[in-house]
Amino acid sequence: MGSSKFFTLKEARLSNNCPECYANDGLEITFKQKLTENIFYKAITSETSQHIHCYNCNTDIFPIRWTDDIERVVDYQQRAVDLRPKSIKLKPLAWAFILFDLLIVTTIILFATGVISF
């Protein structure tokens, strides 16, 4: 019913040596932030992910393979990323549901207080 996906915040080339092929011009880091969407709302969460890929040997570099130099550069790049603030945007169906609920609650209160009667 709902879906979650990540959108790209920043991509940066790294000049560090790849732990797989030892080339120093193929690493790229990508920072992503999570977007959740369903029929009622669309929300940006504070959850982020980072992904390093080497374009010379065409491999993904997982955090277990990061060297100390790569970790320092990742920390530096992570501080430079501007995260989008957490937000929730209600869709028209959610607004219709809220208005319908308010109408029902108002009718019940007016009926209980005797303002209207059937």
Helical H segments across 25-118, by residue range:
68-80, 92-113
Buried b (16+ CB within 10 A) or exposed e, 63-96: eeebeeebeebbeebeeeeeeeeeeeeeeeeeee
Domain count for the chain, please give it: 1
Assign residue 66 a region (left: φ > 0; alpha: ψ between -120 and 50; beta: otherwise): beta
- Nearest 10 degrees: Cα torsion 78, 51, 69, 25: -110
Domain contains 82: yes
Q: Is residue 99 part of a domain?
A: no
Structural domain that includes position 65 = 3-91
Q: Would you say residue 31 lies in a domain? A: yes
What is the chain's mean pLDDT, rounded? 90
pLDDT at 1 over 70: no
Would 58 be classed as within a structural domain?
A: yes
Q: Would you say residue 9 has pLDDT above 70? A: yes
In a domain, 109, yes or no: no
Residue 96: inside a domain: no
CA dihedral in degrees (46, 71, 31, 77; nearest 10)? 90
pLDDT in tens, 30-83: 999 999 999 999 999 999 999 999 998 899 999 898 889 989 999 999 998 999
- Tens of pLDDT, residue by residue over 78-109, are 998 999 999 999 999 999 999 999 999 999 99
Q: Is residue 70 part of a domain?
A: yes
